[in-house]
Structure 1
Amino acid sequence: MIENLERLLNAHPYIQTCVWFLGLIVGAWLAGHVVRFILRHTITRMVERMRFFKGHDVEHADISTRIASCIPAFLISSGIGAVPGISPAFAAFVRNVSDAVIILFAAMAIVATLRLCGQIWQRRHDDSGRSIKGYVQIATIITYGVAIILMVAALIDRSPLILLSGLGALTAVLILVFQDTLLSFVAALELSSTEIVKVGDWIEMPAMNANGEVIDLSLYSVTVRNWDNTYSTFPLRKIVSEPFKNWRGMAESGGRRIIRAIPIDQTTVRFLTEEDLEKFSHLRRLTEHISREKQAMAEWNAKLGDAAQVPGNQRRMTNLGLLRAYLENYLQDHPALRKDMTLMVRHLDPGPTGLPLQIYCFTNTTQWIAYEGIQADIFDHVIAMLPEFGLAVFQEN
């Protein structure tokens, strides 16, 4: 039977060539599966000993499959010359295609490794808010760019230096085509060095309709989850070319500013009488202030001599001034306000809508809901106390 098979193969050389070629392909395919099995188990055992890896990380990256895929192409490239009856031209063609396939899968393995490293770094440094996603994407573009040049060089069986020398004439075209990528890359470098924006920051960018938390920083774009649960995505370069507000400083300081004014009806502002002062002196937050101011006013008026007989010459207290003193002491006593930050009650420029009485202070929390509750409680109290001082809120009819 073997002799008959040998005579058949000798009589039909092309059958012998097909058998050897098919055997080479099957052998290369089996070798690839064996190598993939060995690599998968070897890498899994190595990963189990590393604390910063998770089992599914390497499995999802599928690096072993990409590396093992190089083996069949390598065996075909190495063994095609040993197949009897193969013409040198066809052998060279198969070798060139196999080399290109090796380069492709090698590039895919490198890219998968880069992405895996990026995921691990991001997970270990998640609290920092920094993202290296842009750098991983740049490295991916470079890897595939080099791989394309090497693959074309392998297919045409020429040195890659020849292709690189021809790229000089295409530089202007490449810059035009990859303009956004280059600008985004420069922006990514600036963001990385200055850290003006990080993942987790609250930013306001009216030009991009963005007002919320940064959830993703990639090479090309920034994604913001707005407070109304919508998403705004815009080019990364806009961060360095458009004005925006970053609330990170507020969050890091631990205090959020309250700056709000109530318009006071200016016709309700008046001087206080002795009876008024006696009544207000019973308020705990004004007892010391009234006593101190009475003494200061008495000393001032005593220096006036006979001129003190005219009320307009005297130094007197007003209901609005006393309200400011009351509110300053009220804010100092408030348990939800920071006493180590600016805290004051002041007037703003009066106008046709009244005299704005502004409260300027900082809460001891940056949480939105808690902040709004503290602010509302303060102004509820202020508005309710106005009639006690004979004052009224200005309201247009």
Structure 2
Amino acid sequence: MVSKFFYHFFKDKLLVPHEASIYLNLITNLVVIGIFGYILFKLLRFFGKKFLGKIAYKTKTSFDDLLIKNKVFRNISRIIILSMFNSSLHILLEDLPFLYRYFEKVVSIAIILFTVWLIRSILLSIKDFLREFSSFKDKPLESYVQIFMVILWMIAIVIAFSVLTDKSLYRFLTALGTFSAILLLIFKDTILGFVASIQITINDTVRLNDWITMEKYSADGSVIEINLASVIVKNFDNTVTSIPTYSLISDSFKNWRAMNNSKGRRIKRSVLIKVNSIKFVEDLSSFNKIELLKPYIANSLKEINRYNTEKKIDKSLLINGRNLTNLGLFRKYLDEYLKQHPKINQELLFMTRQLESTPNGMPLEVYAFSKDKTWINYERITADIFDHIFASISYFDLEAFELPTGNDLNHLNK
């Protein structure tokens, strides 16, 4: 053995006593084994990168590339080196048997830890591989990996303590039951996150890339990550919000996925009309020039005149009988305008309706669905519709309500 040569060399040259020579032998062996192990580890890594890397590059599947990317073969190399070191411990410590037990425990625990890291690397590779399939792109795979890793780490820690204390797993787990309440307190958030992840998956509450809104956490954007502890949301202002996973079960939030999967995005916006500008229409000549209203006015006049004639209504007062109003005509005009609008989905509900009157006027609401659901296009469609509405109001002798500004007040004072 190489270390024996160095051992006798230093013993003869330095004339060290017998007890010191035993420790010198141990140190020499450890140094030699360490250098040999390091060289072997580098060789295994080189073999993994060059040979296995070339094989992975030539194969059609990307799974082997992901195994290399997530350092699976590096962790295998570490376990091989540690196993070889563990098998040679009885030779290294033949003169110091009392140390053998402690070294064996340390190496065994190191093997357990590197085994956990190896399994983690394999799980990450599987997760990345599944992400390549469309059916798994919106699934919270990170949560599954983290749940498995929490369980795996708990098992590894129990085995490590069992090795460290020389107690059987059964006895160690029995003793551990005494501290279950403390463990539940320590892992409370993890347990809640674990339960929430299962419920989110089963109920399909949230997926990756879903647009969600949660006012409690000022979240309004797309879900970019779902893990055991939190759901990460990238807001539309490019900030990032972290929401505890359990909050998606215990608190209320809005998921816009159904809207994205539907045939349209809802437009629900109103304009306030001054009540004192609403009146009966005596002269319909100007309204007859509006193309969208011509058929409606002709049909309505026939029905109104027939009713007033049959009922012998005194039309010397305009309030008597049935009459057309400028607000009614405007509402009908907007219905026809929405009906012929190319960017409004005609298969879904659309209408113009009056809401309950307020101190600020009569709300006239447009309720419709745009075909384009993309946010920027949706806002442009809505803006175009209401640009037209505000520009059309004056043609019906109506006024939109707005609070008086400084110029209005100055005009009143004059």
Q: Per-residue displacement from partner, 1:73-113 (whole Å, max 9, x unpaired)?
A: 21222222245842332223322222222212111111111
State the Cα RMSD in Å: 2.7
Higher alpha-carbon deviation: 181-190 or 17-26: 17-26
Shift of 1:182: 0.5
SS at match of 2:286: helix
> Do the aligned partners of 1:122 and 1:131 also contact (CA within 8 Å) in 2?
no
Q: Is 1:329 equivalent to 2:336 in the alignment?
A: yes
Structure 1 residues not aligned, in runs of 5+? none
Shift of 1:345: 0.6
1:313/1:134 CA distance change after superposition, 3 Å: same
> Do the aligned partners of 1:302 and 1:308 also contact (CA within 8 Å) in 2?
no
Shift of 1:317: 0.8
Match of 1:257 in 2: 266
1:155/1:73 CA distance change after superposition, 3 Å: farther
Match of 1:196 in 2: 205
Q: Is 1:59 equivalent to 2:65 in the alignment?
A: no
1:295/1:319 CA distance change after superposition, 3 Å: same
Letter in 1 for 2:384: D
Q: Hey, what's the Cα distance between the residues in 2 that align with 1:6 and 1:261?
A: 92
Q: Is 1:284 equivalent to 2:291 in the alignment?
A: yes
Kindly tell me the number of residue pairs found equivalent between the two proteins. 390
Q: Is 1:87 equivalent to 2:96 in the alignment?
A: yes
What is the aligned counterpart of 1:70 among 79, 103, 107? 79
Q: Hey, what's the Cα distance between the residues in 1 that align with 2:67 and 2:137?
A: 24
Higher alpha-carbon deviation: 247-256 or 342-351: 247-256
> Do the aligned partners of 1:25 and 1:72 also contact (CA within 8 Å) in 2?
no
1:35/1:154 CA distance change after superposition, 3 Å: farther
What is the aligned counterpart of 1:148 among 153, 157, 168? 157
SS at match of 1:313: coil
Match of 1:362 in 2: 369
1:26/1:261 CA distance change after superposition, 3 Å: closer
SS at match of 2:383: helix
Q: Per-residue displacement from partner, 1:259-298 (whole Å, max 9, x unpaired)?
A: 111111111211112xx32332232101111111111112
Q: Per-residue displacement from partner, 1:218-240 (whole Å, max 9, x unpaired)?
A: 11112222222222112111111
Structure 2 residues not aligned, in runs of 5+? 13-17, 405-414
> Do the aligned partners of 2:272 and 2:401 also contact (CA within 8 Å) in 1?
yes
1:114/1:128 CA distance change after superposition, 3 Å: closer
Match of 1:269 in 2: 278
Letter in 1 for 2:335: E
Which aligned pairs between 1:296-311 and structure 2 lie closer than 5 A? 296-305=303-312, 311=318
Match of 1:175 in 2: 184
Q: Per-residue displacement from partner, 1:355-381 (whole Å, max 9, x unpaired)?
A: 111111111111222111111111111
Higher alpha-carbon deviation: 82-91 or 183-192: 82-91
Which aligned pairs between 1:8-157 and structure 2 lie closer than 5 A? 14=22, 23-40=32-49, 43-45=52-54, 47-48=56-57, 49-53=59-63, 55=65, 57-83=66-92, 85-125=94-134, 128-157=137-166
1:361/1:153 CA distance change after superposition, 3 Å: same
SS at match of 1:286: helix
| TM-score, reference length from structure 2 | 0.85
SS at match of 2:299: helix
Q: Per-residue displacement from partner, 1:248-268 (whole Å, max 9, x unpaired)?
A: 222211421111111111112
Letter in 2 for 1:163: F
Q: Is 1:213 equivalent to 2:222 in the alignment?
A: yes
